[in-house]
Amino acid sequence: MIPLLASTNSVVQFFLQGGFFMFTLVVCSVVSLAVILWRGFALRRETVMPSRISQGVEELQPSDDTEAVVKLARLVRGDESSLGRVVQTGLQNLQWPKMENIEAVQTRARHEIVRLEAGLVVLEVVVGIAPLLGLLGAVSGLVTVFANLGASATVSDPRGIAKGISEALSTTIVGLAIAIPSLIAYSYFSKKIETMAAEMESLIAELLAKCYYQKQRRTTARGGNVVTAEIDQIL
């Protein structure tokens, strides 16, 4: 118990000696950790691209009957995932010309990407300011150390000077310790969003190609808009 208390006190002392700048770095670390946990939970693959929807799109065939498209519309109805909302947009606008539907889907997809990237700018800011705050704290501490040294001509204890410099550099250590994992998380999340966005783009292009082929085939065969009307009722 005593060694534990001693180590706890040393950690507390380490942070207290950093002063105001150490407090700001602690705030940065809390914010960064909160954003990492939030984005890590929100960017799970099953949350963004549920396997049941992606499989439904992949299993849909151009030669399928109208019930297959209606079944997919029922599957995505009310779904809150990014892929589900983009698929809903594409299915709702099947009565539009293909190019107009593609533009609508692209607009919705850009909106979903913005939603997925929410919070990453905070990590980017933390990566930039944490080392700077640590450096500013170190410089401020060194100024104090040398000011005290210059205030008294009799001060000549090298151990005291070394201790003061080490305390001043503590904020630099903490700043780098915060920036490094924040940078790793930012890079990981950015790459993950980019990968999922490319996969969603491929799935939606595949979906629209199949749906418009079916629409053309139905129009040639019996000239009706029964499927699009039924999808509108579902969605």
Note down the domain range covering 223: 2-234
**Which stretches within the chain are classed as H helix?**
2-16, 19-42, 45-48, 51-59, 66-76, 82-92, 98-116, 120-151, 158-168, 170-222, 226-234
On the question of pLDDT at 222 being above 60, the answer is: no
What are 177-198's pLDDT values in tens digits?
999 999 999 999 999 999 999 9
Q: What is the pLDDT of residue 232?
A: 61
Q: Which two tokens stand for residue 151?
A: 């205030």
Percent of the chain with pLDDT over 90: 48
What are 52-88's pLDDT values in tens digits?
999 988 888 877 667 778 888 888 988 889 999 999 9
| Least trusted range by pLDDT, from 142-146, 169-173, 175-179, 221-225 | 221-225
On the question of pLDDT at 214 being above 90, the answer is: no
pLDDT band at 223 (very low <50, low <70, confident <90, very high): very low
CA-CA distances (angstroms) from residue 37 to 15, 80, 185? Answer: 24, 20, 10
Q: What is the pLDDT of residue 72?
A: 86
Orientation angle between helical segments 98-116 and 82-92, nearest 10 degrees? 160
What are 134-158's pLDDT values in tens digits?
999 888 888 777 776 666 655 556 6
| Least trusted range by pLDDT, from 96-100, 170-174, 223-227 | 223-227
* Residue 180 to residue 127: CA distance in whole angstroms: 7
**Number of domains forming the structure of the chain:** 1
pTM for the model stands at 0.83
Q: Which two tokens stand for residue 110?
A: 């850009």
Amino acid at 130: A
Q: Which residue has the higher pLDDT, 235 or 148?
A: 148
* Residue 216 to residue 194: CA distance in whole angstroms: 33
What are 81-127's pLDDT values in tens digits?
999 999 999 998 888 888 999 999 999 999 999 999 999 999 999 99
What are 33-45's pLDDT values in tens digits?
999 999 999 999 9
